[in-house]
Amino acid sequence: MLREILERFDDTVVIEKPVSKELEVTRYLLRYHDRPVLFEDVDGWSVAGNIWSTRERIAGYLNLSVMELMPFIADTMGNPSPCKTVGDAPFLQNSTEDFSLLELPVPKYYPRDGGQYFTSAMVVAKDENGFVNASFHRIMVRDEKTASIRLVPRHLYSMWKDKAEHGEELDVRIIVGNPVHLLLAGATSTVYGISELEIASRMSERAFGRPLEVVDLHGIPVPVQTEFVFEAGLMPELVDEGPFVDITGTYDYVRKQPLVVFERMYHVDEPVFHALLPGGYEHFMLMGLPKEPQIYASVKRVVPKVHGVRLTEGGAMWLHAVVSITKQHEGDGKNAILAAFAGHPSLKHVVVVDEDINIYDDRDVEWAIATRFQADKDLVVVPNARGSSLDPSATKSLTAKWGIDATKPLDRREEFERAEV
């Protein structure tokens, strides 16, 4: 469980004094931006944030090196594995309909937020054919038992829409306080019919030697290793959702989104609520890491030797990337740029470098740009392309994309080698 996970990290910051869930949680998470923070008293509850705020911490928990993390995620996305259904789970020890969302430690992160926000919540739903979807969705508290949920037009939206068109609610389970393999799986983009729970199960098998365990909660499988579970319904009715600070650290606008009615709460003994800071490093990691294998696969189709892909923290791990290749032909760098844009359509800026550049070192990448790039020959600009709706500089999601080919010319490679002793 989360408390046990936090105890494994030697850099966890423990805040013992009472902390307000309105803005004060945010101040601590910003202060310790890359360190786990455990709050012992947020309205009488325990809360944790920044748990998975570095690649090193995520990789270490999964028994991997940082370099192994992307291939690991790629393998699990391509090879889902069945979950193991068990008869009990720790969260079943505490169950009640007598709760108020307003009294739970759900933070209001920023001054102009529309309200308190579930930010680490995953929603598990099952369609009429038995397909189980598990995905991230921000949820804004409205009152003691209702909220609004942001649905982008993907799998859960499709399941909700099918019900809403018939005036019916979609039965769901909302889970909060999950291990990182479940969070990473929930952030993947896969085809309809492949369950994110089975991707998480593959991760669990590879990292820990066992499948993901789930328990049947009134017809819907719920992972055993979760701190809070809510039985809820997504209603046909639309209500206001937002404003909300998204991954770029800027406010998203108010939309009409489905109403959520919370019916029953379950939780483990002494639960820890996961507060995922919007626009923070943990947000970057969980949203960006599953996109790196997609970029890698796309570039690999046009350049045989691809050594790594990194979505950068400076680009919110969404808009900027660095790709490492071995050139075999002139023009490979530019092909890699275009393929990276195809692999992650939200990408706005990509730098392609040779294999001797450490893509995890911003100074090394900048050195490659400084010494191996000429703007009149090595810059690729794609105007009026479809980009990210999260980019505040885009106009109706249209953006100019640009790529830098910072690779050495094949016929002059020796002139670009760094001196060594």
pLDDT in tens, 50-102: 999 999 999 999 999 999 999 999 999 999 999 999 999 999 999 999 999 99
Check residue 397 and give its pLDDT: 81
Check residue 414 and give its pLDDT: 78
| Full-model pTM | 0.93
Check residue 185 and give its pLDDT: 96
- Whole-angstrom Cα distance, residue 191 to residue 178? 23
Pick the catalytic residue: 10, 113, 246, 356? Answer: 246
**For residue 35, how many C-alpha atoms fall within 13 Å in the half-sphere facing its CB?**
12
DSSP H or E stretch at residue 58: helix 55-61
- CA angle 273/136/226 to nearest 5° reads 40
- Whole-angstrom Cα distance, residue 252 to residue 257? 13
State phi, psi for 105 to the nearest 5 degrees. -80, 50
- 307: tokens are 């050594």
Average pLDDT, whole number, for the chain? 95
By three-state DSSP, how is residue 260 classified?
strand
Cis geometry, peptide bond prior to residue 179 (ω within 30 degrees of 0): no
State phi, psi for 143 to the nearest 5 degrees. -155, -160
- 83: tokens are 């979950």
Q: Are 136 and 150 in contact (CB under 8 A)?
A: no
Check residue 412 and give its pLDDT: 84
The distance from CA 14 to its chain's CA centroid, rounded to whole angstroms, is: 24
- Whole-angstrom Cα distance, residue 132 to residue 129? 9
Check residue 204 and give its pLDDT: 98
Q: Are 155 and 194 in contact (CB under 8 A)?
A: no
Is 41 annotated in the active site? Answer: no
Instruction: Please give the full DSSP string across 125-184, using - where no structure is assigned.
Output: EE-TTS-EEEEE--EEE-SSSEEEE---TTHHHHHHHHHHTTT-PEEEEEEES--HHHHH
Residue closest to 197 by CA, chosen among 219, 173, 217, 213? 213
In this structure, which amino acid lies at residue 306?
A: V
Q: For the beta carbon of residue 236, count every other beta carbon within 10 angstroms.
A: 16
Check residue 171 and give its pLDDT: 98
Q: What is the C-alpha end-to-end distance of the chain, expressed in Å?
A: 49
- Whole-angstrom Cα distance, residue 106 to residue 140? 9
- Which spans in 291-420 are helix H? 292-300, 332-343, 362-372, 375-378
Check residue 1 and give its pLDDT: 85
Strands of the 398-406 sheet, one edge to the other: 306-311, 320-325, 349-354, 398-406, 379-386
Beta bridge partners of 123: 135, 174
Check residue 419 and give its pLDDT: 78
Q: Which residues of 2-28 are buried (b: 16+ CB within 10 A; e: fewer)?
A: beebbeeeeebbebeeebebeebbbeb
Q: Residues 346-372: pLDDT tens digits?
A: 999 999 999 999 999 999 999 999 999
The 8-class DSSP code of residue 96 comes to E
Q: Which residues of 124-163 are buried (b: 16+ CB within 10 A; e: fewer)?
A: bbbbeeeebbbbbbbbbbbeebbbbbbbeeebbbebbeeb
Q: Are 55 and 67 in contact (CB under 8 A)?
A: no
Q: pLDDT by residue for the chain (421 residues), tens digit each? A: 899 999 999 999 999 999 999 999 999 999 999 999 999 999 999 999 999 999 999 999 999 999 999 999 999 999 999 999 999 999 999 999 999 999 999 999 999 999 999 999 999 999 999 999 999 999 999 999 999 999 998 999 999 999 999 999 999 999 999 999 999 999 998 888 899 999 999 999 999 999 999 999 999 999 999 999 999 999 999 999 999 999 999 998 899 999 999 999 999 999 999 999 999 999 999 999 999 999 999 999 999 999 999 999 999 999 999 999 999 999 999 999 999 999 999 999 999 999 999 999 999 999 999 999 999 999 999 999 999 888 888 888 899 999 999 999 998 877 778 877 8
